[in-house]
Amino acid sequence: MEETLNDKNSDKDSRPLRIGIAGLGTVGSALVGMLEENATQIERRHGRKIQVVAVCARSRSRDRGIDISSFQWYDDPVALAGNGDVDLFVELMGGEDGPALAAVKAALAAGRPVVSANKALLASHGVELAQLAEDCGAQIGFEAAVAGGIPVIKTLREGLGAASVTRVYGILNGTCNYILTRMGQEDISFADCLKDAQELGYAEADPTFDIEGFDTAHKLAILTSLCFQCQIAADEVFVEGITAISQEDIKVAAELGYVIKLLGISQRSEQGIEQRVHPTLVRANSAIARVDNVLNAIILETDHVSELMLSGPGAGGSATAASVLADILDIARGQSIPPLGMPTGELADYRRAPMRAHKGGYYIRLDVIDVPGALAAITSRLGENGISLESVIQRPDLNHDVHSQDSDSGNGENSRTLVLITQDIIEASLRKALDQVADDGHTRGAPQVIRIESF
């Protein structure tokens, strides 16, 4: 009986793995092309043929540079997910709800493994989908959902052994990294950099999701769950985008030996887990500062490995499709690992550490009305709240670009830029002091506050 059963399993594993793909955009088309171009090598290396048998997309007639005439066509992704002739369902449509969620649920409920590149879906429903996969004996792979072609999910689930992550941080959005890199290297305004990013295809027509930090937040929430074995808590991420970053900030940061990067940072403390996405000053000679343009980088700090850095293309059709294919091949080999690294029933509840309990250095830019005593009054307020300053820079020569706060108050008074660099302080104390400074009437507009991290 045992020999017969093993023979049956062997026969089953040697059959082609038939996949259905929902979504034939940049990534989906690249995946089809990759499977066709490397079919012989994939079968030889992995002992099993991978065969696309069905597809679903918005338009059947669109020219995608691939031949889909031999594939079964579906207008409804849920119907494709439920097709008994499909062994594995690949979701590349995007969107955290709607057809994407319905189709993934349908596939998992049928015991069919799923591979997805959809970070919004995983950030919002990852625990629910992982539980469904466990209940139905299916698998779900999502390597491509975080940092494109960088194998960080596999590293966290399989590569760290008994090591425990203490902090994870990194550059998780190529659009923002491209904009900040160009601003720093070429003295270009935010608006002009964003326009170039859109023309080059690095930014969407509506770039809000990227430049306001939400894309990074979704990816960070997934990483946090894997790093700290907790529930995914995308709604608990503190988020600031890069839209307030001006050339003033870029130039002063450079003079002080820093560059500005949009980072996602997650760390565990006695108070809970702190997840935050925001522009950050990092030392120009640090490893993370040298990750430029559309590249991504993720740094894992652990008790055993100390610091592990993974860097590479965070987006793009080929890079993302390569991560999708890696998940497909794992499933073809019969590899089975809990989607979130451990059974969902063992995940800890997420406990949020108060953001204003964060302790660190800060860059503060103020537009100060040029009257006697203003600087003394501001530093006095900071001192009253226990804030020690590392440096004070007065810059009457800095021009406000179109992306900075409007300094024209209409009262005819001149102003100058004041930049303060603090020592490590509690954020709540800083916010209280800045509120008092604003009430005193010595400044115009909102202060620019950027956190400083020492990596």
Q: Which residues are catalytic?
A: 219
Reading the block at residue 248, the tokens are 């003033």
Six token digits for residue 174? 């190529």
Query: Rounded to 10 degrees, what is the CA torsion of 173, 176, 177, 178?
Result: 120
- Closest among 441, 433, 357, 418 to 388, alpha carbons compared: 433
* d(C-alpha 161, C-alpha 152), whole Å: 14
Nearest-angstrom CA–CA distance, 418 and 398: 10
The residue count of the chain comes to 455
Cβ distance 210 to 204 under 8 Å? yes
Structure tokens at 58: 């918005």
Neighbour order of strands in the sheet with 114-116 = 72-74, 50-56, 17-22, 88-91, 114-116, 140-141
Tokens 């969107």: give the residue: 95
Instruction: Work out the number of other CB atoms within 10 angstroms of the CB of residue 424.
Output: 12
At 291 the three-state DSSP class reads coil
Report how far residue 237's alpha carbon sits from residue 16's, in angstroms, rounded to the nearest whole number. 42
